[in-house]
Amino acid sequence: MSQPPESNIPWEVLTLVATNLDPKTLATASSVSKQWCTTMTSDHLWAHPCTTHFPSISHLHSTTLPYHRLYNLGFTATKRRHLPPPQPSITLQNLLFVITLTTSTSPPLTITKPCTELALDPSSLFRFDIDVSDHRKWSKYEVLDDTRVTWNVVLGGYEGVFTMMDCKGRGSFFSGSDGWFTAELPVAGWWSGGGSSGLVAEMRVAVREEVGGDGRRGVVGSVSVGVLSVVTWRYVCVDDCLRYLQHFLEP
C-alpha cells in the first residue's frame, strides 16, 4: 500500500499567516528550525509590534539591529521594571535602636531597645512607639528648648551602626506638646552626586508636666520614631526601610 504524498506548506502561505501572529507566537515559531527562524524574524513581521509597543526604541532600527531584537530589548526592559524588589538581607530581629537625649543642664541619657521588643505597626510601616515608663531616668528627664537627640540603628553583634539623626528640635517645649525632630537621610549605595534619598528620619518626644519640689517642669512622656517618604509624606514600609539600611549596616 503506497504512502500518501507528504504535504508541505508553501513558505509564502506561512509568511502570510505570520503577519497575523502575536509576538509571543512569532518568537516560538522562530525556534522550530533555521529556516523558520529566518522567516519568523523578518523585519516586516516585527516592525508593527515594535513600533506599537516600544515606539522610542523602534527608532534605533538598522541593518545590524533588526526589529525583532529591538522588540526583545523593550520587552526585557519592561519586565525588569516590574520585577518585585528583592527581600532585604537584614530583619528587624537583627536591629537595635539606641536613642540619646542631651540638654545644656543635664548629662546625656541613653536608652537601648532591641526591635524585637517593639510592637510592629499594623500596616507594617517603619514607625515605632518606644515605652519609657519603665525607665525612671527617662520619665524624670527634663526636656528643654535646646534638647538634642541622637538616634542610632545598630546591627546585631554591633557589626554596624548608622546614625539616623543627630539634631535639635523645632520650637519650644511645654507640657502636653510634642517635640519634633527630623533629619534628611543620605543617599544609599555608591551614588553621591548630590541627589536626595527621598527619606526623612523622624522622632517625636511627647512632653508631660511633672510637679515637684522644683516646681513645674516638662519631662519625657513617650518617644516615637519612624522614616517618612518626602514624596508622599507617609511612613515607608518596613521592608523598604530595611533595604535602605542594609547599605549602611552590612560590611
DSSP 8-class letter at 209 = E
Which candidate, 40, 49, 51, 50, places its Cα nearest to that of 16? 40
Of 11-20, 22-31, 93-102, the one with minimum mean pLDDT is 11-20
List, for residues 193-213, the tens digit of each pLDDT value.
556 788 999 999 887 777 666
CA 198 – CA 151 distance, rounded (Å): 19
CA 153 – CA 91 distance, rounded (Å): 12
Query: Taking the mean position of all CA atoms in its chain, how far away is CA 161?
Result: 19
CA 140 – CA 109 distance, rounded (Å): 11
List, for residues 47-84, the tens digit of each pLDDT value.
888 888 888 888 888 878 899 899 899 888 888 887 78
Output the CA torsion sign for 233, 239, 240, 241: positive
Per-residue confidence (pLDDT) for residue 129, from 0 to 100: 93
Amino acid at 229: S
Per-residue confidence (pLDDT) for residue 6, from 0 to 100: 46
Which candidate, 167, 161, 156, places its Cα nearest to that of 115? 156
